Structure 1
C-alpha cells in the first residue's frame, strides 16, 4: 500500500477517572459477574499524575492541566509489563460534530452512548509484548513472533491481522485468567476523546508534538513539518486525559466490530456492533504514521479485511 493511499473500504476524509473512587464503589459499577474480579484488580491499582495540554486551531497551547489515572500492570514474562488503565463509566456523543472539518458520513448519525467501565492498555501493543504472548500456548491459530515491518521492541506491532489480534487476546486471557479482548468502537472513541468534544483530544487540531502522522499535511492553521515515514516508540508522545498514549496516530487499531457504513441503527451501549455488519471487514480507529491528520480525529473510522495484514495496522486490548 502506498503511503498516501487511503485504507480500502474507509470513508477516511460528565466523565470521571477512577481516581478518588473507593474500591467498593468502583466494583459496584460493574455487573455481578465482574464484581469479584474487579475488586481484586481495584485493590492493586496504582496512580500516576501527568499534564495534558490543549491547543487551538493554529496549534497554540491554550490550556494545561494536571490529570491522574489509575492502572494495574501484568507481567508477560521476561520482565515485559502490560499496563492497563482504568476507564470509568460514562456517556458521550459518538460520531463527529456537524461542522467538524473533514467529517465523513460513516461518522453519522451522531448518537448518545452509555459506556460501562473497563481497562484499556496504556499503549498500542508493542513488539516486545507481542513476542512474549506469541510464545504462550496456542488457542486457535499460530502467531508469527516477529511480524512487524518497522522493527523495535517498544514500537507498536503491526502487520498483524484482526484474527491474529483476537488470538493474542485469547492467549493473554488464558495466561492471566482475565477477560482480554479487542475494544468496541464505542469504547475506543470514548477512550480516545477522554472527555473532549473537539476533533482531537488535544483540541481543535493536531501537531507533531502530540502524534506520529503525515506531518507534511495540516488540519488547521498549524505549520507542517518534516515527515517521518515510520512508526515510533509507543511512549514517545504524552497521554490524553485518561492516561492513554498514541490514541491518535502511529498505527491504526483493530476494533471488535464488524464494519457498518454508517451509525444508522447503532447500539446505544458500548458493546461491539456485530449485527447486520460485514463480518469480512473489521473496524479500525486512530489513523497511522502515514495519514493526513484528519484521519486521526477521534471520530474517524476505517475498515480492513479481517484476515489481511498492513504495516499501518496494529491494536490495543481491553480487560473487562
Structure 2
C-alpha cells in the first residue's frame, strides 16, 4: 500500500501530461480551422513535445512520486535533476514559440506584399532575428541552470569582483566573433544584402542562399557553396545585382566583318526576342559600338526579369545570331584578309 499510492500519482502525472498535450493540440486545430488565414496556429502545434516535457517535469517536482516509490531519504539529487530538465524544457518551449510567431509573421507579410525585394528583406531580417533571439534564450537558460548549483553561487562573488578583467579578456578573444555578430545584424537591418540576392564576391557570381550570425552561404552557378564571413560584406565592396530591381540588362558582343548587314541582324534579333520566353519585353537594342581595321563590334542588349534569366537569354541570343549569320549572311563572319 505505501507504494501503491505513489504509483497512482505517477500514472496520473503521465495521463495528465498526455491529456494536456492532446487538449492543446485539439484547441489549436479548431482555432486554425476557424482562422485559415492565420498561419500562427498550425505552427504552434510544433510546441507539443516541449510543452509535454515541461508539464510532466513540473508535476513530478510538485508530487515527488519517485521519492516514495524508491524510498529515497535524500532526494536532493533527483530534485535537482528534475529542476534542470524543467529549465531546459522551458527554454526549448520558448524557442519553439518564438520561432512559430516569427514564421507566422513572415508568412503573413508575404501574403499581403507583392514586391519580391521587400519580401526578401523581411525574410532576411526575421531569419536573423530568430537566430539572435534563440541564441539569447539558450544562453539565459544555460546560465540559470548553472546558477542552480551551489558551487556556482559560492564563487559568484569572486567572479563579480573580477568581471571587469574577464570582460576585457573575453572581448579581445572574441573580437572576431563579436564583429561578425554585429555585422550580421547590420546586414539584416541595413538592407545591403538579402536572401535570394545575386551578388559578385571576389569575381564569383552567386545567389545568397543563407545568412547566419557569422557567415553567408553563396550558391555559385555550378552549385558550389561559397562560405563568406558576414564582416566581408561590411568592410569590403561587392556587387549586388538585385538590391533594388531584380531585372538585369543582358549584353552580347559579336566581332563581325565590315560587310555585315546591321539592319537585317537587328531585325533578326527583334524577331527572336518577341518569341523568347525569358525576355521581359522592356528594352532591347543592337548597335555597332566599335570598329577595328579587320572587324566591327556589334552589341545586342535585352532585359530579363532575373539574373538567371539574363544569363540564359544571353546564351540563347548569341547562339541564334551566329546561326543566323552563318545561314543567311556567311560573308558577315570575320575572316582573315590577305592580298597577293
Please, what TM-score do these two structures have when normalized by structure 2? 0.19
Name the structure with the higher helix share.
2
- Between 1 and 2, higher relative CO (CA 8 Å, sep ≥ 6) is seen in 1
TM-score (norm 1): 0.20
Higher strand share goes to which structure? 1
Q: Answer with 1 or 2: which has the greater Rg.
A: 2
